[in-house]
A and B are shown apart, each in its own frame.
Chain A
Amino acid sequence: MTTLAIQSQHGATRTLGWLGVYLVALVGLGQLVIPHMNPYHTQILILIGINVILAVSLNLVLGFAGQFSIGHAGFMALGGYTSAAMSHYVLEPLLVGQSPGLLNGLSINLSFASSLLCGGMMAAMAGLLVGIPTLRLRGDYLAIATLGMGEIIRVVILNTEFVGGARGFGDIPPWTTFTWVFLIMGVCILVVRNLINSTSGRALIAVREDEDAASAMGINTTNFKVLAFVLGAFFAGVAGGLQAHFIQYLHTNSFTFLRSIEIVVFVVLGGSGSITGSVIAAAVLTILPEFLRVAQSWRMVIYSTLLVVMMLTRPQGLMGGKEFKWSWILPGRKK
């Protein structure tokens, strides 16, 4: 990517150009820095990345579109299991016999990409199927419906022998790398940010602010709610795939209502309606348990107390709906 392309008048090339630079930086880090890092730290980074993707994608639905979706883990599970099945049953057997090398690396990356894409698409389809009927509901009812849907998905997967059922799904190829996670994280943030700042994004927020006024102004509120829902589900599915190929084992116990609530906490504590907030909250709350090396129960007590206190004292979360602006650190640069 040359500077010429980046400064080009042509919008798409500019966006892709920056994305390309980002990718190169990630690959560089991945090849030069990561291998020398403590694997424990790498693990934390990867988990942070996955949680950020989950938080930002949920923020689109919960924070920006204002839809009480508390079944996000269900989409994550669906995506994770789908991509794992794809990799384990279809792709990996195709790669058997390839000797390590550039071609092999390329094949693996391509396989992983298609596997993640399948996971995301599956989750997105579920988002569509779930979204269309339930997004008619409002408020608490929608929350309960999404909760129920998430659980139904989980129970269905639990009873699917093909993906391990109650024993779980193991032997998933270890294809997740730092580069992949952070690349997808970057894409997710880019997609959500660009969508939100556009006219359509403003219309989405209008739906959140006052749905009836929005439809009176010509905004097809159902379409927008479903769009947010499907996009959110897609990224949750991809995040599930990333997790599956990292831990190399899947069990539905990782995708319960509690996991959905964890993601909701990221969004709410960071400030719903703020991408920056979701990133910070997801990062901090992923690292925090590593410092709080106490029993799980105590950790949850602190967590939930924190949640309640936050809701009572600063419900707008950390960022209060505001976003990071470059002008905060680069004085003189206008938006």
Chain B
Amino acid sequence: MDTARTKEVNTTPLPALDFENVCLSFGGLRAIKNVSLRVGQRELVGLIGPNGAGKTTMFNLTTGVYTPDEGRICLKGEAISGRAPHEINRRGIARTFQNIRLWGELSVLDNVRAALLHTCDTPLLQIVLRTHHSEANEARVRERARELLAYFDLIRFEDDKARNLPYGEQRRLEIARALATDPSLLLLDEPVAGMNTGEKIKLMDLIRKLQHDQHIAVLLIEHDMKVVMGICERIAVLDYGEKIAEGKPEDIQKNPRVIEAYLGTSHA
């Protein structure tokens, strides 16, 4: 699939995501304690940790749902903390959600079309009059949407309502929709949750392929260790809002702090 995006390769490339000493509290609860994390422009990084560790909160911080109390979040060198979510998306960060949040009443095709809004600048009057310019934009959007659906093997569902899709297809649609926004960084929140082994393998292969084809960075939250160890180049581990380890999969697997966080007796 053609991406039409060129990447300059600098000698010191800017990281896609730079989480610098970020802190976040909810009232008295310190949810994220001084977490720093970098994701390179073409890296596939995993984010793991026990439930409640703060992984989705990190996603929410990155996409602008929350603003850090301290620290900075940068996308390719530009600070984005404090901006509105839709602005952050326009700058190049897209995500999927832990609980699938598709636009149920819209068709599969329309879910992707809506996400392609950023490519469609038609003024209202032209939309209403259905001018040549407007119709051309619409055709382009539909074509691109179909391209994405085809990549995710969803074309045969294109006219079905998103809420009627089978579970696995819904998850894929969410990723397709996120990709439609043309991100440099893709955040996937438990993309294979609830799938059987066969589906998981297929999706993980697809993610790997997609990351390679699209030249994007991917940050992945997952609980399935086989999956995480299988495709991530690097893994960061969160526990109680702190990053307790970071490194290659094989190192993380042997890291005693990580093992304790998942199985340890200190969490009574």
> Direct contact between A and B in the complex (CB less than 8 angstroms)?
yes
* Residues on A facing B (Cβ under 8 Å): 9-12, 14-16, 190-191, 194-195, 198-203, 205-206, 209-210, 212-221, 227, 273, 321
The reply to whether B105 and A321 contact each other, CB–CB distance below 8 Å, is yes
Q: Give Cα A15 to B127, complex, Å.
A: 11
Q: Is the Cβ of A213 less than 8 Å from the Cβ of B86?
A: no
Distance in Å: Cβ of A216 to nearest Cβ of chain B: 5
Partner of A203, one of B117, B124, B130: B117
Interface assignment of B122: CB less than 8 Å from any CB of chain A? yes
In the bound complex, CA of A198 to CA of B103 (Å):
16
Pair B105/A200 contact, Cβ less than 8 Å: no
- Chain A nearest CB from B127 CB (Å) reads 5
Q: CA separation between A89 and B115, bound complex, in Å?
A: 49
- Collect the chain B residues with CB atoms within 8 Å of residue A205's CB: 103, 105-106, 110, 114
Cross-chain contact A198 with B86 (CB below 8 angstroms): no
Total inter-chain residue pairs, C-beta < 8 Å: 119
> Complex formed: what's the CA distance from A190 to B180 in Å?
29
Q: Is the CB of B120 within 8 A of A200?
A: yes
Q: Please pick, from A217, A220, A273, the residue contacting B105 in the complex, using a CB distance under 8 A.
A: A273
Number of residues of chain B lying within 8 A (CB) of chain A: 44
Q: Which of B103, B130, B141, B181 contacts A12 (CB 8 A)?
A: B130
Q: In the assembly, what is the distance between CA of A194 and CA of B105, in Å?
A: 18
Q: Which single residue of chain A is at the shortest CB-CB distance from B120?
A: A199
Contact A12 B131 (CB under 8 A): yes
Contact mask for chain B residues 156-191; partner A; CB cutoff 8 A; 1 contact, 0 none: 000000000000000000000110110000000000
Least Cβ distance of B126 to chain A in Å? 8
Whether the pair B128, A200 counts as a contact (CB closer than 8 A) is: no
Q: Establish whether residues B106 and A202, one from each chain, have CB atoms under 8 Å apart when the complex forms.
A: yes
Q: Across chains A and B, which 4 residue pairs bring their CB atoms closest together, nearest first? A: A209-B103, A218-B89, A213-B101, A202-B114
Instruction: Please measure, in the bound complex, the distance between the C-alpha atom of A291 and the C-alpha atom of B111, giving whole angstroms.
Output: 44
Which residues of chain A come closer than 8 Å to B105, judged between CB atoms? 205, 209, 273, 321
Chain A residues in 8 Å Cβ range of B138 = 198-199
Distance (Å) between the CB of A221 and the closest chain B CB?
A: 7
Partner of B135, one of A11, A16, A190, A191: A11
Stretch at the interface among B1-9, B67-75, B90-98: B90-98
Does B132 lie at the interface of the complex (its beta carbon under 8 Å from any beta carbon of A)? yes
Q: Which residue of chain B has its CB nearest to the CB of A220?
A: B86
Task: Output the least CB separation between B219 and chain A (Å).
Answer: 15
Partner of A11, one of B95, B124, B130: B130
| Chain B hits for A219, CB < 8 A | 86, 114, 117
Tell me how far the C-beta of B186 lies from the nearest C-beta in chain A, rounded to whole angstroms: 12
Kindly state whether residue B65 has any CB partner on chain A within 8 Å. yes
**Looking across the interface, which residue of chain A has its beta carbon closest to that of B86?**
A215
Distance from A124 Cβ to chain B, minimum over Cβ atoms (Å): 12
Name the B residues within 8 Å of A195 (CB-CB). 124, 127-128
- A198 adjacent to B129 (CB under 8 Å): no
Minimum Cβ distance to chain B for residue A193 (Å):
9
Taking the nearest CB of chain B, how far is it from the CB of A19, in angstroms? 9
Say yes or no: is B85 at the interface (Cβ < 8 Å to chain A): yes
Asked if A12 and B117 sit within 8 Å, CB to CB, the answer is no
Q: Is the CB of A200 within 8 A of B117?
A: yes
Extra A-B contacts (17), CB below 8 Å, given A209-B106, A214-B86, A218-B115: A11-B135, A15-B129, A194-B128, A198-B122, A199-B116, A199-B117, A199-B122, A200-B122, A202-B106, A202-B117, A214-B114, A215-B86, A217-B114, A218-B86, A218-B89, A218-B118, A220-B84
Q: How many Å from the CB of A326 to the closest CB on chain B?
A: 16
The smallest beta-carbon distance between A183 and chain B, in angstroms, is 15
**What are 18 A-B contacts with C-beta separation under 8 Å?**
A11-B130, A199-B117, A199-B137, A199-B138, A199-B141, A205-B105, A205-B110, A210-B101, A210-B103, A213-B102, A213-B103, A215-B85, A215-B89, A216-B94, A217-B115, A218-B117, A218-B181, A220-B86
B81 CB-CB contact with A under 8 Å:
no
B84, B126, B177: the one contacting A215 at CB < 8 Å is B84
Is B63 an interface residue when CB atoms closer than 8 A count as contact?
Answer: yes
Q: Are B110 and A11 in contact (CB under 8 A)?
A: no
Q: B181 to nearest A CB, angstroms?
A: 5
CB-CB < 8 A to A15: which residues of B? Answer: 128-131
B113 interfacial contact with A, CB 8 Å = yes
Q: Which residue of A lies closest to B65 (CB)?
A: A212
Pick from B104, B128, B178: contact of A190, CB under 8 Å: B128
